[in-house]
Amino acid sequence: MEELTRRNERLEKINQALMQRVEAGPENSDGAYDNFKHSVYLAEQVRERTEALNQAMHSLKSTNQELIRASAEAHNAHDLLRQAIESISDAFVLYDSQRRLVLANSRFNQFWQASGIEIHPGMHQQEIHKLSQRYRLIDRYYGDATTTARGALPGDGKVFHMRDGAWVHVSERATRDGGLVVLYKDISALIENERALRERALATKSRTLQNTLDNLSQGVVLVNQNKLVETWNVRFAELTGLGHKLLESGMTFSRLMRHTEVSDLNPTSRDADGHACLQMEQVLSDGRVMEIRTHPMAGGEFVNTYTDITERSRAVKALAESEQRIRVITDAVPALIAYVDKDLTLVFANRAYERWYGFEREVIVGRKLYQIIPAMQLVRLQPYINRALQGQTVNFEISDPSRDGVVRHVVKTYVPEMDEEGEILGFYVLVQDITEIRLTSEALAQAYQHLEQRVQDRTSELTELNGQLRQEIEERRQMESRLREAKQDAEKANHSKTKFLAAASHDLLQPMNAARLFCASLMEHPLDDRTRQLVDSLNYSLEDVETLLAALVDISKLDAGVVKPDLMSFNAGDLLNNLANEYRTLAADASLSFDFVPTSAVIHTDSQLLARIMRNFLTNAVRYTRNGKVMLGCRRRKDGLEIQVLDTGVGIAEDKLEEIFLEFNRGSQADTARDKGLGLGLAIVDKMSGILKHPIRVRSVLGKGSCFSVLVPYGRRHHARRATAPGLAMLGNQQFRGRRALVLDNEASICKAMDILLSGWGFEVLTVRSWEETLLIREQLEEGVDLVIADYHLDNGATGLDAVALMRSELAVEAPVLMITANYTTTLKQEVRELGYRIMNKPVRPAKLKAMIHHMIEHGVVV
């Protein structure tokens, strides 16, 4: 518009100049035409300029109208802008490029109303800031970093805390012309909400922490830097006996702990030596044991924990007492006991071991074997040590020098110890001095010889005295007196002999029993054929020695009068039937026939003692009968049942019938190759029959045979047999009568033993030693079997599993299978169980075997 106005003014000036020039006229006539021409030209120019001016005026008028409309629109937009700024919830301020106030809404003015200050356009920004400082409208200012750290609002603004308590967030933005727009946002509600959320979170964490503390088994207390109790849990109050009033009283920790007998332990505590003491154990008056620990913190605070360790303390004390008792027990054992680890370091030794080598306990434990045992002796022991460290149990006899230098005979046993993975940790050493046992055996043999010599001497003297008595009465009386004295000496000697046998036999049975156990353990391990033969021979020899020693013990017990009969009524047929089954096999091994006459009579006696009497009769009958037969039967007498054993053996001379019941009398017809006894069998029979008051009768013809019998009183028949009757549970139980069992074992002795055992339980038993022998009884198997008992290891590398598989596939045998083995590996057990069979490890206990068979048959375990 200004430009059009200027152009219009310029055109008017030009038009005015032209008009003045035309009105002045030409200066001379000569130039009239030129003037006319010039005036025409000017007129044309005026006309063109006038048209241009009209167009310009028209454009100016249009432009002016547009300007009016634009001004109205701008005013309308300004009103709308002001209304928009006024409608926003935040305070709004607009500064120009000089930072002078151009526009502000009413919310901004509200900040100043309380102070009476009027903010108007044109005021400088610094002037407004100074007014806010002068009237202290702002309490505190927070920059961006502080704001973000406090969690109010992140961004490029600032936060003011007003004196009226409000929180304001200030955000500034520059305009295009250099101005500045400032927004003031009231964030009080946001701040309060954030604060409430933080307080709730803090309260939740506090409750969680307190609940956690209260659920601890330990007492916990936190003491701040001012030595005041900050927090605690319920367990702390229970253990110390402090009530909540005391804990909340504001006392210092030290004063608070004066109200309880629990010690005041803190980071400054010292022990008796002046050293820092951060933990202690205290025994309270009520017997409780308290463990107290203090944990200092960097800021001067500390945390104490209190644990009731009464049970643990008692357990530790009990463990120590148990270890002490074990030490006392092992120290009281006369055998040498020690433990050596895999590095050949002596870890443990009992008192006998220490005395043997002449060391004190503190010196010998922890030392290497080469520091304890002489070098030459260690060289002899090294092969056995190596076998023990390879996992073998080693038992051997060796001479060993003792502390006093005397060489004594000992039996040593090395038993390896393994962890769960089978790694050798060390081995136990058991040493038993058998020197005295050897001397005792020699003394016993000498005593036997001396006793026989004394008997011979007394017999010779009696013979001479009898001759003298026939001649002189007076000498007879004198000899009778001497005989009475001799009889007293003989009785004393016999009594001494009985006591000696009882003590010596017991002492001999102990190592023999240990030897039997070790032999049984050795038999459970895989051995080559040669070693197996040696072990079997050793086992048989030990059985013979043990039988002889057992007889000595029995005779000593009978002489001492400690055997008391347990009398009861039972069916004699149950006992005799089992004896017949047992000795029928023994008679067959001796190529003798065996006859048995059953009975249904009921007798009243001690079943075990009667069984011992009958076994002695039957054993002697088989032992002293070279050919012919043995018979077991009964005859009903008026005063009882006479149980008889008849044989066609060597017989006994009539004048020797009374001597056979004497101790150590084996008879003149004894076959030393077959008779390995001491001659105590019939002596034991005589003493047992005396205890039972059952008469023993003997009839014999030399060279033709003998008949031994015992007369047993009758008893009353009971409908229910006593379950606790000793010896009858196994002897008379026929619960498997009518059942058939197949026994597969490559050992004939085991087959025979199983036959006797299972037959006694009522089974009809079929025994085979291989798969080939099983094929020979195919027809009998077609009648069916109720049980298969098979040994795992058979001859020629065959196994019981292979044989049973062939039985099932070739012979259709579907009976339950019990696999018996000396193999203890987990692999074999898993293989057997996967096939659905049952497994038992050797040695097999008859009671356990019986229970297993009953379970398998009753529950129909087939596969």
pLDDT tens string 663-705: 666 655 545 444 455 567 788 888 888 888 999 999 999 989 9
pLDDT(84) > 70: yes
| Number of domains forming the structure of the chain | 7
Q: Does 709 share its domain with 778?
A: no
The CATH number of the domain holding residue 826 is: 3.40.50.2300
What one-letter code names the amino acid at 114?
A
pLDDT(361) > 60: yes
- As a whole number, mean pLDDT of residues 271-293 equals 88
Q: Does 748 share its domain with 848?
A: yes
> Quick one: CA torsion of 678, 683, 689, 693, rounded to 10 degrees?
-160
The CATH number of the domain holding residue 172 is: 3.30.450
Residues 6+ apart with CB under 8 A from 252: 226, 227, 228
* Cβ proximity of 99 and 180 under 8 Å: yes
Domain boundary residue among 50, 80, 110?
Answer: 80
Domain boundary residue among 723, 750, 784?
Answer: 723
* Cβ proximity of 269 and 252 under 8 Å: no
pLDDT of residue 501: 54
In this structure, the number of other CB atoms found within 10 A of the CB of residue 7 comes to 14
Residue 236 — pLDDT band, cuts 50, 70, 90?
A: confident
pLDDT of residue 331: 72
Residue 523 — pLDDT band, cuts 50, 70, 90?
A: low
pLDDT of residue 647: 94
Q: Does 463 share its domain with 420?
A: no
pLDDT(229) > 50: yes
The CATH number of the domain holding residue 578 is: 3.30.565.10
Strands 838-841 and 817-821: parallel
Residues 6+ apart with CB under 8 A from 721: 570, 571, 728, 732
Cα torsion angle, 458, 459, 461, 462, sign: positive
Phi, psi of 322 (to 5 degrees): -65, -45
Q: Does 769 share its domain with 837?
A: yes
| Span 392-442, pLDDT tens digits | 999 988 887 766 667 778 888 999 988 888 888 899 888 887 877 777 777
Residue 208 covered by a domain: no
C-alpha separations of 390 from 329, 378, 385, 417, 425 in Å:
30, 18, 9, 10, 11
Using CA atoms, how far apart are residues 682 and 555, in angstroms rounded to an integer? 11
pLDDT of residue 185: 82
Residue 299 — pLDDT band, cuts 50, 70, 90?
A: confident
Using CA atoms, how far apart are residues 416 and 520, in angstroms rounded to an integer? 17
Residue 210 covered by a domain: no
* Cβ proximity of 733 and 761 under 8 Å: yes
Residue 286 covered by a domain: yes
What one-letter code names the amino acid at 129?
H
Query: Above pLDDT 70, what percent of the chain?
Result: 80
* Cβ proximity of 508 and 441 under 8 Å: yes
* CA nearest to 689, candidates 800, 558, 506, 845: 558
pLDDT of residue 132: 78
pLDDT of residue 438: 72
* Cβ proximity of 338 and 414 under 8 Å: no
* Cβ proximity of 604 and 567 under 8 Å: yes
Calculate the CA 697 to chain-centre distance: 63
Domain boundary residue among 410, 433, 456?
Answer: 433
The CATH number of the domain holding residue 420 is: 3.30.450.20
Using CA atoms, how far apart are residues 250 and 232, in angstroms rounded to an integer? 13
| Span 800-821, pLDDT tens digits | 999 999 999 988 888 899 998 8
pLDDT of residue 21: 66
* Cβ proximity of 99 and 126 under 8 Å: yes
Of residues 498 and 751, more confidence is placed in 751
pLDDT of residue 494: 62
Reduced DSSP (H G I as helix, E B as strand, rest coil) percent helix, strand, coil of the chain, to 5: 50, 20, 30
Q: Does 591 share its domain with 715?
A: yes
The pair of structure tokens assigned to 12 is 């008017």
What one-letter code names the amino acid at 151?
G
Cα torsion angle, 757, 759, 764, 768, sign: positive
- Weakest-pLDDT range from 356-365, 369-378, 739-748: 356-365
* CA nearest to 843, candidates 523, 392, 544, 516: 523
Residue 36 covered by a domain: yes
CA angle 836, 838, 839 (to 5 degrees): 130
Of residues 75 and 503, more confidence is placed in 75
Helical axes 529-560 vs 473-523, angle rounded to 10°:
140
Q: Does 787 share its domain with 809?
A: yes
pLDDT of residue 104: 84
Q: Does 523 share its domain with 581?
A: no
Q: Any idea how long the chain is?
A: 863
pLDDT of residue 155: 40
Q: What is the DSSP letter of 719?
A: S
Residue 676 covered by a domain: yes
Residue 176 — pLDDT band, cuts 50, 70, 90?
A: confident
pLDDT of residue 23: 63
Q: E strand or H helix at 435, and its extent?
A: helix 435-471
* CA nearest to 234, candidates 225, 243, 226: 243
Using CA atoms, how far apart are residues 682 and 675, in angstroms rounded to an integer? 14
Calculate the CA 211 to chain-centre distance: 33
Of residues 234 and 496, more confidence is placed in 234
Residue 327 covered by a domain: no
- As a whole number, mean pLDDT of residues 164-192 equals 82
Q: Does 422 share its domain with 459?
A: no
| Span 34-67, pLDDT tens digits | 666 777 777 777 778 788 778 877 877 887 788 8
Residue 153 — pLDDT band, cuts 50, 70, 90?
A: very low
Which position has the token pair 């057997």?
832
Which position has the token pair 């798969």?
771
Phi, psi of 124 (to 5 degrees): -80, 150
Q: Is 670 helix (H, G, I), strand (E, B) or coil?
A: coil
Which position has the token pair 């043995």?
630
Residue 702 covered by a domain: yes
Residues 6+ apart with CB under 8 A from 771: 794, 798, 802, 803, 806, 807
Q: Does 525 share its domain with 629?
A: no
The H-assigned helical ranges of 242-301 are: 244-247, 253-257
- As a whole number, mean pLDDT of residues 477-504 equals 65
pLDDT(639) > 70: yes
Q: Does 568 share its domain with 693?
A: yes
* Cβ proximity of 105 and 91 under 8 Å: yes
The pair of structure tokens assigned to 157 is 């603004």
Q: Is 672 helix (H, G, I), strand (E, B) or coil?
A: coil
pLDDT of residue 510: 42
pLDDT(169) > 80: yes
pLDDT of residue 713: 95
* CA nearest to 713, candidates 565, 591, 560, 541: 565
Of residues 279 and 467, more confidence is placed in 279
**What's the domain range around 582?**
563-723
Using CA atoms, how far apart are residues 117 and 111, in angstroms rounded to an integer? 9
Query: Above pLDDT 90, what percent of the chain?
Result: 13
Residue 636 — pLDDT band, cuts 50, 70, 90?
A: very high
* Cβ proximity of 330 and 337 under 8 Å: yes
The pair of structure tokens assigned to 342 is 């895999």
| Span 310-354, pLDDT tens digits | 888 887 777 777 767 777 777 777 778 888 898 889 888 888 777
Residue 204 covered by a domain: no
Using CA atoms, how far apart are residues 743 and 770, in angstroms rounded to an integer? 10
Residue 601 — pLDDT band, cuts 50, 70, 90?
A: very high
Of residues 706 and 667, more confidence is placed in 706
The pair of structure tokens assigned to 825 is 């590996």
Q: Does 76 share its domain with 130?
A: no
pLDDT of residue 724: 35
Using CA atoms, how far apart are residues 678 and 556, in angstroms rounded to an integer? 14
Q: Is 761 helix (H, G, I), strand (E, B) or coil?
A: coil
* CA nearest to 771, candidates 791, 741, 750: 791
Strands 219-223 and 167-174: unpaired
CA angle 427, 429, 431 (to 5 degrees): 165
| Span 447-456, pLDDT tens digits | 778 877 777 8
Residue 294 — pLDDT band, cuts 50, 70, 90?
A: very high
Residues 6+ apart with CB under 8 A from 382: none
Of residues 664 and 152, more confidence is placed in 664
Residue 824 — pLDDT band, cuts 50, 70, 90?
A: low
Helical axes 681-692 vs 607-623, angle rounded to 10°:
150
Q: Is 790 helix (H, G, I), strand (E, B) or coil?
A: strand
Using CA atoms, how far apart are residues 705 and 111, in angstroms rounded to an integer? 142
**Average per-residue pLDDT for the chain:** 78
pLDDT(632) > 80: yes
For residue 816, whether the previous peptide bond is cis, meaning omega lies within 30 degrees of 0, is no
Q: Does 716 share its domain with 757?
A: no
